[in-house]
């Protein structure tokens, strides 16, 4: 199954151009909804105002080389490895989900745009699609059932759903139904193949069409916030925060009584 291209089989009933149009439409939905989200929440205005304030309060003027170094270090360390979560289960789950999703999406685009014309897709592309979906499921379900703050720290049940959960649930649905569709197609189960494909399409529509109401757009905001924060540290403005205290952190003996899980 892992070496099969589910989109090649689909191309026998649905024209490749229709699949490509669907992908482009989903990308446009993400762009349009993110822009609407920016206009509504005024995120860009906040970032520009914060950057202007930081420049005014900077203790030193950073050279272009220094700024580039800070940005590259932020991308390589803070963003690529989600270092803000520290070493632990939450970070592993996020890394699994993040890189799994990236592999899943990239492989989907390659398979749809290049290998639905009758040519055979290389095994490493089809494997990337399946492995990416599996990684997304592993990280996502681990996060959903065991690591969510309102579940692990606030004792809410795992089935409590709010609007902010739309992104992770839709993403998990895409990966899950995609794998189920591929397996049903591989095992020649026509009924389940059509069923899981329809569910796969619906979950994609919810994921990419629900950007305005979900946390999808945060994927674009968080890198910008991390870069701005590290630049503020480098130029001394520190986002108008006081410098770190010289004395060591003292939390008292109470902190040793339980695992730190109150975020």
Predicted confidence (pLDDT) per residue in 210-229, tens digit: 888 877 777 777 787 788 88
In a domain, 244, yes or no: no
Count the neighbouring beta carbons within 10 Å of the beta carbon of residue 154: 12
Residue for token pair 């720290």: 153
Tell me, what's the pLDDT at 213? 80
Where are the alpha helices (H) located in 84-217, listed in sequence order?
A: 89-114, 123-142, 149-152, 166-186, 190-209
Q: Tokens representing 35? A: 């822009």
Tell me, what's the pLDDT at 253? 61
In a domain, 11, yes or no: yes
Contact in structure between 3 and 126 (CB atoms under 8 Å): yes
Tell me, what's the pLDDT at 124? 92
Domain limits for position 35: 6-238
Q: 117-121: list long-range contacts, CB under 8 Å, 24+ apart.
A: 117/11, 117/16, 118/8, 118/11, 120/5, 120/8, 121/5, 121/8
Q: What is the largest CA-CA distance in the chain?
A: 69
Tell me, what's the pLDDT at 87? 72
DSSP 160: -
Tell me, what's the pLDDT at 247? 62
Count the neighbouring beta carbons within 10 Å of the beta carbon of residue 47: 16
Of 126, 122, 80, whose CA–CA distance to 106 is shortest?
A: 126
**Sign of the four-CA dihedral 75, 76, 77, 80:** positive
Burial class (CB in 10 A: 0-12, 13-18, 19+), 119: exposed
CA angle in degrees (0–180, nearest 5) for 233-239-245: 65
In a domain, 146, yes or no: yes
* Element housing 161 (H / E): none
Contact in structure between 126 and 4 (CB atoms under 8 Å): yes
In a domain, 109, yes or no: yes
Tell me if the pTM is above 0.95.
no
In a domain, 176, yes or no: yes
Structurally, the chain folds into a number of domains equal to 1
b/e map 36-45, b = 16+ CB within 10 Å: ebbeeeebee
In a domain, 259, yes or no: no
Tell me, what's the pLDDT at 118? 81
In a domain, 140, yes or no: yes
pLDDT tens for residues 154-212?
667 777 777 778 889 999 999 999 999 999 998 988 889 999 999 999 999 999 988 88
The strand ranges marked E within 24-112 are none
pLDDT tens for residues 134-156?
999 999 999 888 877 666 566 67
pLDDT tens for residues 110-128?
999 999 888 888 999 999 9
Chain-centroid distance of CA 129 in Å reads 16
Average pLDDT for 29-41: 83
Q: Is the pLDDT of residue 67 over 90?
A: no
Tell me, what's the pLDDT at 47? 73
DSSP string, 197-237: HHHHHHHHHHHHHTTTTSSTTHHHHHHHHHHHHHHHHHHT-
């Amino acid at each position: 199954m892992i070496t099969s291209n589910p989109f090649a089989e689909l191309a026998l009933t649905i024209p490749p151009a229709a699949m490509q149009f669907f992908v482009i439409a989903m990308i446009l939905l993400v762009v349009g909804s993110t822009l609407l989200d920016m206009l509504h929440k005024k995120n860009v205005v906040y970032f520009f105002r914060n950057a202007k304030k930081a420049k005014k309060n900077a203790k030193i003027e950073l050279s272009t080389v220094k700024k580039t170094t800070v940005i590259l270090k932020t991308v390589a360390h803070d963003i690529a490895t989600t270092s803000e979560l520290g070493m632990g289960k939450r970070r592993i789950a996020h890394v699994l989900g993040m890189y799994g999703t990236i592999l899943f999406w990239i492989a989907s685009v390659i398979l749809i745009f290049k290998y639905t014309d009758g040519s055979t897709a290389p095994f490493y592309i089809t494997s990337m699609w399946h492995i990416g979906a599996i990684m997304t499921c592993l990280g996502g379900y681990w996060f959903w059932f065991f690591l969510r703050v309102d579940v692990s720290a606030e004792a809410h049940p795992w089935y409590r759903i709010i609007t902010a959960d739309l992104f992770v649930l839709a993403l998990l649905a895409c990966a899950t139904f995609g794998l189920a569709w591929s397996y049903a197609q591989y095992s020649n189960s026509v009924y389940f193949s059509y069923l899981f494909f329809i569910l796969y399409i619906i979950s994609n529509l919810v994921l990419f069409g629900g950007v305005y109401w979900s946390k999808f757009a945060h994927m674009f905001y968080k890198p910008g916030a991390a870069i701005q924060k590290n630049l503020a540290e480098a130029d001394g403005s520190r986002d108008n925060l006081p410098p770190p205290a010289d004395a060591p952190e003292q939390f008292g003996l109470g902190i040793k009584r339980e695992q730190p899980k109150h975020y």
